Amino acid sequence: MSVTIKDVAKKAGVSPSTVSRVLSNNTRISRETSQRVRDVMEELGYHPNIMAKSLVSRTTESICVILPKPAEELFLNMFFMELIRGIVTQANRSGYDVLISSGGSEQEEIEAVSRLLKGKRVDGAILLYSRKDDQVVEFLKNNQFPFVLVGRSEKFPDILSVDNDNVQAAYDATKHLISLGHQRIGFVSGPPNHIVSRDRMKGYVTALEEAGLEKRKEWIVEGEFLQESGYRAMSFFMNLPERPTALVVVDDLVSLGVLRGLYELGYKVPEDLCIVSFNNLSIAELSTPPVSSMDIGIYNLGYTASQALIQSIQHEGERQFQKRHIIPHRLVIRESSLYSPPKKP
Partner DNA sequence: AGAAAAAGTGGTTGCGCAAACGTTTTTGTA
Partner DNA sequence: TACAAAAACGTTTGCGCAACCACTTTTTCT
Under the rule (CB under 8 A), what is the footprint of its own copies? 2, 45, 47-52, 54-55, 60, 62, 67, 71, 74, 77-78, 80-82, 84-85, 88-89, 92, 97-102, 112, 114-116, 118-121, 227, 253, 256, 259-260, 263, 282-283, 286-288
Q: 19: left (phi > 0), else alpha (psi -120 to 50), else beta?
A: alpha
Q: How far is the CB of 21 from DNA (least distance, A)?
A: 6
Compute the distance between CA of residue 98 and CA of residue 92 in angstroms, rounded to an integer.
8
Residue 256 binding target from DNA, its own copies, none, CB below 5 to 8 Å by type: its own copies
The number of CA neighbours under 13 Å toward the Cβ of 22 is 25
Partner whose footprint covers residue 21, from its own copies, DNA, none (CB < 5 to 8 Å by kind) = DNA
Q: Which does 71 bind (CB under 5 to 8 A by kind): its own copies, DNA, none?
A: its own copies
Q: Does 23 bind DNA (CB under 7 A)?
A: yes
Q: Spell out the alpha helix ranges (H) of 106-194.
A: 106-118, 135-142, 166-179
| Residue with smaller CB distance to DNA, 105 or 144 | 144
- Choice between 115 and 155, CB closer to DNA: 115
Measuring CA to CA, how many Å separate 216 from each of 174, 180, 231, 242, 281?
15, 20, 20, 10, 29
Residue 228 has φ and ψ, to the nearest 5°, of: -55, -40
| Residue 216 binding result from its own copies, DNA, none, given CB thresholds of 5 to 8 Å by partner type | none
- How many residues bind DNA, per CB under 7 A? 33
| Closer residue to DNA in complex, CB, 60/229 | 60
Largest CA distance in the chain: 94
Segment (H or E) for 15: none
Residue 16, contacted partner among its own copies, DNA, none, CB below 5-8 A by kind: DNA
Q: How far apart are CA 305 and CA 151, in angstroms?
A: 10
Smallest separation (angstroms) from DNA to the CB of 287: 52
- Sign of the CA dihedral with 16 first, then 20, 21, and 22 last: positive
Q: Which long-range contacts (CB under 8 A, 24 or more apart) does 295-299 make?
A: 295/329, 295/330, 295/331, 295/332, 296/164, 296/169, 296/327, 296/329, 297/164, 297/327, 297/328, 297/329, 297/330, 298/79, 298/82, 298/83, 298/86, 299/82, 299/83, 299/85, 299/86
Nearer to DNA, 46 or 75 (CB): 46
The reply to whether 143 sits near DNA by the rule CB under 7 A is no
* Span 41-80, contacts to DNA by CB under 7 A: 46-49, 52-53, 55-57
Q: How far is the CB of 33 from its own copies (least distance, A)?
A: 23
* Cβ neighbours of 41 (radius 10 Å): 21
Candidates 25, 30, 144, 193; binder of DNA (CB under 7 A) is: 30
Rule CB under 7 A: say whether 35 interacts with DNA: no
Among DNA, its own copies, none, residue 28 binds (CB under 5-8 Å by kind): DNA
Which residues lie near DNA (CB under 7 A)?
A: 1-2, 4-6, 9, 13-18, 20-21, 23-24, 26-30, 32-34, 46-49, 52-53, 55-57
